[in-house]
Amino acid sequence: MAAGIEANDPADKRMRLTLLGGFLGSGKTTWLRHQLHHGALADAFVVVNEAAETAVDDALLGQSAELVVLAGGCACCEAKDSLIALLRSICDRRVSRAADAPLLDQIVLETSGLADPAPIIEAIRADPMLVHHIVIGEIVVAVDGVYGLRHIREEALGRRQMELADRLVVTKVDEAEAGELGRLLATLRQINPGATVSGAMKGTETALPDHSGVAPEVLADLGNGTGAQPIRALKIDIGEDIDWTAFSVWLSALIHARGDDILRVKGVVHTPAGRLLLQSVRRIVQSPEMLPETRGDTPEQDNRLVFIGRGFTQAALERSLRHFAGLGPDGGKGS
Amino acid sequence: MCSSCGFPAAPGHWTEAGTATPHDRLRARFRRAQVLQSILPAYGLTAHDGAQVPGIQVGTLSGNSTIVRDLEEVWAEAERMSGKAIDPLDPRFIGDDV
């Protein structure tokens, strides 16, 4: 079997799963409805998870080709088994479809507002069947433009959802007060510098106000896994001639030992096979993607990794990596 | 998949990405074993990958040994065998005497 399946490899026929999260009432369904209506995710199979016994969201999402509601439990805990069973049945249907039926290649999972995305990804990656059929694409998290700051300040779960996102969609931009919105954006940039941030108004993409120079909110420890130390984002330069194998040994050890503290790792690393986009969420490393080669100079962001978490310093990470790669503290060979 | 031992049960581990040719893959396996051999002895452990069978052999100096699938399992097994977490941010890896 070929090692390292890449998510954008044309030979990789696995379905891409987009995880849509966000705190209660943050506008997940509104955003999704718009995406379905405008066709961005129109061909996707939509799975909606609701913590409540009575489902409402399916009535709102009539646009989607196929939609299943998983009600009465959150997919990251009590309804995890039902979610896995449901995803397996989608995979079964896909492989046994009629020859002329279109091939399903996208799933959107809208989680309940009380779901932590990490255990869901972990469960899918750990399932021996699903791992052959589903690759985690993107984690989109809706952030309430009006109450977002309060969620970050007071709700450990709300904050955790935002920390884990690849893409943050700030909703209700039209209803938010400008000063508050600026502070929210600055705070989001601080807790998750790796994510792309966009604005939405009833699902339609909207420009966000300029927030340069706005001070982010000073965040208190919320307990419940948010830890005593503040979350920091730092960048380490792994060098042009990084030995990819030694680097992967180092990063796997680091994630194993410090997975609770290292929330995200993101970056492009040069490997013998080309430029590779690496992303992790706590202890889960998403299937690395091969990126197209660039012409001319190496892009500035290559071989620089962003680490978001707590309990480490840039110097410690760099020294530790050099040790694993067999380089001296100054970067030269030999110790 | 190897029909005798069931390896690999899942698509390649992320650490095995980044190698395009069989030649690169083989070289990466030897290099991986070499890096592990420079780290694990400090914990009283050994690592071996002769590329003859799938997996990486992790053992103790007293001869206890097991074969694991990928690096993720190496660290879990090393932790179990040595009773200590192998933390790259341990002072032994980041100290001035490195």
B9-25, pLDDT tens digit by residue?
556 788 888 888 889 98
Q: What ipTM score was computed for the predicted complex, to two decimals?
A: 0.90
How close A115 comes to chain B (CA, Å)? 26
Model confidence, pTM: 0.68
A155 within some domain: yes
Contact (CB, 8 A) for A67 and A50: no
* Distance of alpha carbon A318 from the chain centroid: 25
- Provide the CB-side half-sphere exposure for A181 (13 A, CA): 20
Residue A264: give its domain's CATH number. 3.30.1220.10
List CB contacts (< 8 A) between A3 and chain B. Answer: 12-13, 16-17, 19, 25
Residue A242's closest CA among B31, B74, B86, B14? B31
Helix (H) or strand (E) holding A15: strand A15-22
Statement to judge: residues A194 and A114 lie in one domain? yes
The residues of B whose Cβ lies within 8 A of any Cβ of A are 1, 8-21, 24-25, 28, 31-32, 35-36, 38-39, 71-72, 74-76, 79, 85-89, 93-94, 96, 98
List CB contacts (< 8 A) between B36 and chain A. Answer: 249
pLDDT in tens, chain A (335 residues): 333 334 455 567 789 999 999 988 888 988 998 888 887 787 888 898 877 655 566 666 655 567 888 877 788 888 888 899 999 999 998 888 888 888 888 999 999 888 888 889 989 888 888 988 998 888 999 999 988 998 888 888 888 899 889 999 999 998 888 888 999 999 998 888 888 999 998 888 888 888 888 888 887 766 655 445 666 778 888 888 788 999 999 999 999 999 888 877 888 898 888 888 888 877 888 778 788 887 777 777 788 888 878 888 999 999 999 999 887 655 444 43
Domain boundaries, chain B: 46-82
A4 within some domain: no
Statement to judge: residues A141 and A248 lie in one domain? no
Residue indicated by tokens 């400090």: B42
Concatenated DSSP letters of A210-253? P-TTPPPPPPPP-STTS-SSPPEEEEEE--TT--HHHHHHHHHH
How close B5 comes to chain A (CA, Å)? 15
What's the structural domain count of chain A? 2
The β-bridge partners of A260 are none
Count of CB atoms situated within 10 Å of the CB of A110: 28
Statement to judge: residues A186 and A268 lie in one domain? no
Evaluate if residue B67 carries a pLDDT over 90.
yes
Which pLDDT does position A21 carry in this prediction?
93
**Neighbouring residues of A174: CB distance < 8 A, sequence distance ≥ 6:** A201, A206
CB contact under 8 A, B87 and A317: no
Structural domain boundaries, residue A258: 232-324
Statement to judge: residues A85 and A177 lie in one domain? yes
User: Which residue of A132, A249, A310 is the best one to mutate when testing the B interface, meaning the one whose CB has the most B CBs within 10 A?
Assistant: A249
